[in-house]
Chain A
């Protein structure tokens, strides 16, 4: 029943995202309107896919570092992506895809650095080292970013931060296609790790005794979740709260088994982000709100309500 409701909510959200918008498209013209086909539909689908990716990535990382505060961007990815974006603008890299590509490269480099730190001295991706390494690498990247912004002459640099706060203005069928081709691999890796991740929740040693290859599991999950997040950053910037709140929300409703958590977090993340983007486009039309603000405004009260119910029972 809960699954049916979730699926219905997903369909309703996507329908609303296509039907509502700042431009006035009469209902009978919806199927033929270029505004719907070229802008609204790809944007709704992209928001849904990115929300889903962030939800799943959040579930995986929270399981990996066994910390409820973990967020897909915690491990230095947002800092790395920001540095990439600022470099693209400051050095005026040519081409329409320069900025997303540079952000992706930045995020992946930060991830690689944190990963390397996490393996140093046989640490084997110790959660504490990963979290500290992530914060340190993120701070370092942010420092270089600020240095470039304050030293470079380009007046557009201020706008790099606007991009970084996230949004779906860059959505097109091309970006949707990029995500559709790219995401299945990390998603598949994570889905295959559902059972061993359940074991990992018991602790690393018990999981090892119960037959999980903990070393390999941690590496695969870390890389898959980070690569998923890096792709989300490249197409939509850094959108907070989805990857933090959706996993907790799903755990409160569906329990702790990853077999159920991954698909529900994907759908719930998609619903939250597609709904937030629809509101961002419509509530203050003709203006638009940054989507990250709306995700927080929508997600936090729902989360607080569930948290209360959870602590009371």
Chain B
């Protein structure tokens, strides 16, 4: 059975490899309206709006649905669980790194990838099979608008993509409201890894009225000493978690030096809404503010 599946994949790959050669003959220059430059600096031009799209990041899946191109999706990752309709799209694996064969087997005319080392390599392999790819950055709030615009161009959903992008751009350019609380995002406890200024979460917290005590660290995340967290004395420890169970380290003696841990002031943020930049960013800010206001 497994061997059979493998063989059909292989046949598919061979077929796909043959396609670009056939197309070579009567190629007309693509209309400029369907061309963008991706974040790897590559020009991406389609001859017609993409009709079979594989999204390899939950954020892209959400964006595609938000601009009304959800019905074009023919592949997603196992992590893509929003909106609920997304779950009906066939999964091509966890996408880390992308399973090129599984992606190609969906016969996509566009694959949307997050720009990272392994993904750049996978994009190269897909391009060699004649499949168009677009590599986009999506680490920060201000990258949401440009990503939405380019997905709109490539799927022919320009108008709705532009209006979504405008909303996100205006949120991104909004000055943060005066902070009433301070918090630390602890991603891992041993060694302690915290979120720094170069991240979506730092910005989200600022828009919700909470100051990240590690805003002075420029990178997205960094290893710090518990001592530093204790000295900066945040009001809350923010935890990306779907449940409200205090993290394991809360029971360890060394963490009791941090006041917010001692007082069990944890702010639980469900990963589906807060763990990724996406079209629901305004909702995430509102929900963040609500959780801060209701916190003990």
Do A and B belong to a common assembly? Answer: yes
Tell me the A residues contacting B by CB distance below 8 Å.
21-24, 34-35, 38-40, 42, 94-99, 153, 156, 159, 162-163, 167, 169-174, 281, 285-290
How close is A257's CB to chain B, nearest CB, in angstroms? 39
In the complex, how many residues of chain B place their beta carbon closer than 8 angstroms to a beta carbon of chain A? 30
Name the one of A96, A153, A159 contacting B188, with C-beta atoms under 8 angstroms: A159
How close is A210's CB to chain B, nearest CB, in angstroms? 47
Q: How far is the CA of A94 from the CA of B257 in the complex (A)?
A: 22
Asked whether A288 lies within 8 Å of B249 as measured between CB atoms, the reply is no
Asked whether B190 lies within 8 Å of A39 as measured between CB atoms, the reply is no
Chain B positions 193 through 222: 1 when the CB is less than 8 Å from some CB of chain A, otherwise 0: 100000000000000000000101100001
Segment at the interface with A among B30-38, B39-47, B227-235, B286-294: B227-235
Q: Which of B243-259 contact A (CB under 8 A)?
A: 248-254, 256-257
Asked whether B224 lies within 8 Å of A288 as measured between CB atoms, the reply is yes
* Inter-chain contacts of A21 with B (CB < 8 A): 225, 227
Known: A38-B256, A167-B191, A172-B252. A281 touches B227 (CB 8 A): yes
* Inter-chain contacts of A22 with B (CB < 8 A): 224-225, 227-228, 231
Asked whether B191 lies within 8 Å of A163 as measured between CB atoms, the reply is yes
Q: How far is the CA of A98 from the CA of B216 in the complex (A)?
A: 33
Asked whether A23 lies within 8 Å of B191 as measured between CB atoms, the reply is no
* Inter-chain contacts of A97 with B (CB < 8 A): 252
Asked whether B190 lies within 8 Å of A99 as measured between CB atoms, the reply is yes
Asked whether A288 lies within 8 Å of B223 as measured between CB atoms, the reply is yes
Q: How far is the CA of A23 from the CA of B228 in the complex (A)?
A: 5
Chain B positions 113 through 126: 1 when the CB is less than 8 Å from some CB of chain A, otherwise 0: 00000000000000
Name the one of B78, B94, B250, B257 contacting A38, with C-beta atoms under 8 angstroms: B257
Q: How far is the CA of A94 from the CA of B248 in the complex (A)?
A: 7
Given A99-B190, A162-B190, 16 additional A-B pairs, CB 8 A: A21-B227, A23-B227, A24-B231, A35-B230, A39-B225, A39-B227, A156-B188, A162-B191, A163-B190, A167-B190, A169-B192, A169-B225, A173-B253, A285-B225, A285-B228, A288-B224
Asked whether A288 lies within 8 Å of B191 as measured between CB atoms, the reply is yes
* Inter-chain contacts of B214 with A (CB < 8 A): 286
How close is B91's CB to chain A, nearest CB, in angstroms? 13
Name the one of A96, A98, A159, A172 contacting B193, with C-beta atoms under 8 angstroms: A159
How close is A24's CB to chain B, nearest CB, in angstroms? 7
In the assembled complex, B189 has its CB within 8 A of some CB on chain A: yes
In the assembled complex, B226 has its CB within 8 A of some CB on chain A: yes
Q: How far is the CA of A289 from the CA of B189 in the complex (A)?
A: 15
Where chain A touches its partner, the secondary structure class is loop
Shortest Cβ distance from B213 into A: residue: A286
Q: How far is the CA of A26 from the CA of B48 in the complex (A)?
A: 68
Shortest Cβ distance from A162 into B: residue: B191
Shortest Cβ distance from A88 into B: residue: B248
Chain B positions 90 through 108: 1 when the CB is less than 8 Å from some CB of chain A, otherwise 0: 0000100000000000000
Q: How far is the CA of A64 from the CA of B216 in the complex (A)?
A: 50
Shortest Cβ distance from A163 into B: residue: B190
**Which of B187, B223, B225, B253 gathers most chain A CB within 10 Å?**
B225
How close is B192's CB to chain A, nearest CB, in angstroms? 6
Q: How far is the CA of A170 from the CA of B191 in the complex (A)?
A: 8
Q: How far is the CA of A159 from the CA of B194 in the complex (A)?
A: 13
List the 10 closest A-B pairs by CB distance, nearest first. Answer: A23-B231, A96-B251, A172-B254, A172-B253, A159-B188, A38-B257, A22-B228, A96-B252, A169-B191, A287-B222
Shortest Cβ distance from B230 into A: residue: A35
How close is A130's CB to chain B, nearest CB, in angstroms? 31
Asked whether B225 lies within 8 Å of A34 as measured between CB atoms, the reply is no
Asked whether A171 lies within 8 Å of B254 as measured between CB atoms, the reply is yes
Q: How far is the CA of A290 from the CA of B189 in the complex (A)?
A: 14
Asked whether B190 lies within 8 Å of A174 as measured between CB atoms, the reply is no
24 A-B contact pairs sorted by A residue (CB < 8 Å): A22-B224, A22-B228, A23-B227, A24-B231, A34-B257, A35-B230, A35-B231, A38-B256, A38-B257, A96-B249, A96-B250, A96-B251, A97-B252, A159-B187, A159-B193, A162-B191, A162-B223, A169-B225, A170-B190, A170-B254, A172-B252, A281-B227, A285-B225, A287-B224
